[in-house]
Amino acid sequence: MRRIIEERKRFPYFDLHLIPTKKFKTTIITIKFLSPLSREKATKKALLPFLLQKGTKQYPTERSLRIQLDELYDAQLSIDSAKKGENFITTFRMEAVNENYLQEKGNMLEKAFDLLQEILLSPKAENGSFDEKTIQMEKRTLEQKIKSIVDQKMSYANMRLIDEMCKDEPYQVHVHGYLEDLESLNGKTVFEQYQEMIERDRMDIYVLGDIDPVQTEKLAEKYFHFRRANDYKPSEAQMVKKDSVNEIIEEQDVQQGKLHMGFRTFTTYKDSDYFALQVFNGLFGGFPHSKLFLNVREKHQLAYYASSRFESHKGLLLVFSGIAPEQYGNAKTIILKQMDDMKEGKFTDQEVEETKKLVLNQLKETLDHPYGIVEMLYHQVLAQIERSPDELLNHIRKVTKNDVEQIAEKIQLDTVYFLTNENKGEQS
């Protein structure tokens, strides 16, 4: 395996991460801002990625800004919000073609830095307020986005599961914000939130591609070095243990029922049994040979999909399945039986070895995607530990059947959520 080398430089106001690699035909710049999850700030923060793409001082409309990106050979810009553990992350991404592959030469990387700086630090705002008209338009965009979640049944069921499961924890905060908070937002309040992000959020810059580290470091300094408090730190998630299982059944006009379940793992990225959790998840519901896939989908023909995934910084394991509404009881029993089998060690050493190979394969494949590499490296910032991709892979290789049984033993069912149609009663 070709190693991914991350050169990490600590500047007073941000951390710079340089990843020189010849894998890709483009160079990417990623800037991440981190702050603690907060219900009160969520909607304002959710609005920012939309607003900041709508124009800058120099390029005052979305169209004029996008024309600049076209001129850089279709440079890609994206800004988004995400929840990692109990942190709110705003990510700016810019990807530009490496000019070695173009007939035209001309400082493509510096131009990308320059444009990203303009977008980040010179938004279209005056006297401490975003443009009121733009705010009203983007409030509408966000409103529609929030309202459309109910139409995407799988996402809706995920959101509802977390709502119910993490009711009194910061983790329940919706990263896309809240309709009831949207109304009162104005150019001034959102600009204050923007300033807080620029001033206080933890800031990490990643530059990846066929780059010259010395020159790139100079570019990062030139464009992004400015005085700021930089005082927000990654927060450690609350671990909650409940005495009884919560069961929620919701009815809507749907063809297919969504049975989603939330478990607590009490293990996060920094813990020594995190590697065993990865293998556990692979065997339980992460891959096509997993217990969920084989038993719920293949053997009992109950579902079109049945899988599981874990949250690395909150300690959750989530199960998703799409089932016929009348199969609720049946499917639930079979899914829980798979969990019991895991706890009782009803799986072989060979299955553990196969799963490890798949987990390793998946991680290595992530290293073939530029943004995948950045996300993998950013886990270290979130968990406040140092662990290179190589170390991560080596730890996975050492996981034993006993390790998997031990982590299974820790996992507890917290909430069962079922989205079903109105006729459920008649059919069951």
Residues that bind other proteins (CB under 8 A): 1-2, 21-26, 50, 61-63, 66-67, 69-76, 95, 97, 100-103, 137, 140-141, 144-145, 147-148, 150-151, 153, 252-256, 287-289, 297-298, 301, 303-305, 322, 324, 354, 357-358, 360-362, 364-365, 367-370
Nearer to other proteins, 70 or 243 (CB): 70
- Give the residue among 228, 207, 188 at the shortest CA–CA distance from 51: 188
Nearer to other proteins, 267 or 295 (CB): 295
Which residues is 87 bridged to in the sheet?
36, 84
d(CA 35, CA 50): 18
**The residue to which tokens 């109950």 are assigned:** 302
In the complex, minimum distance from the CB of residue 306 to other proteins, in angstroms, rounded to a whole number: 11
d(CA 142, CA 18): 34
In the complex, minimum distance from the CB of residue 344 to other proteins, in angstroms, rounded to a whole number: 23
The runs of H, that is alpha helices, within 149-273 are: 153-165, 179-182, 187-200, 213-224
In the complex, minimum distance from the CB of residue 50 to other proteins, in angstroms, rounded to a whole number: 8
The one-character DSSP state at 64 is: H
* Cβ–Cβ < 8 Å for 215, 222: no
In the complex, minimum distance from the CB of residue 259 to other proteins, in angstroms, rounded to a whole number: 13
In the complex, minimum distance from the CB of residue 170 to other proteins, in angstroms, rounded to a whole number: 26
**The residue to which tokens 């070695």 are assigned:** 100
Residue type, 209: G
In the complex, minimum distance from the CB of residue 11 to other proteins, in angstroms, rounded to a whole number: 29
Which residues is 249 bridged to in the sheet?
418
Nearer to other proteins, 267 or 420 (CB): 420
Nearer to other proteins, 116 or 316 (CB): 116
Nearer to other proteins, 153 or 188 (CB): 153
* Cβ–Cβ < 8 Å for 248, 417: yes
Nearer to other proteins, 15 or 118 (CB): 118
Nearer to other proteins, 117 or 252 (CB): 252
Which residues is 89 bridged to in the sheet?
34, 82
Query: How far is the first Cα of the chain from the last one, in angstroms, to the nearest whole number?
Result: 53
In the complex, minimum distance from the CB of residue 254 to other proteins, in angstroms, rounded to a whole number: 6
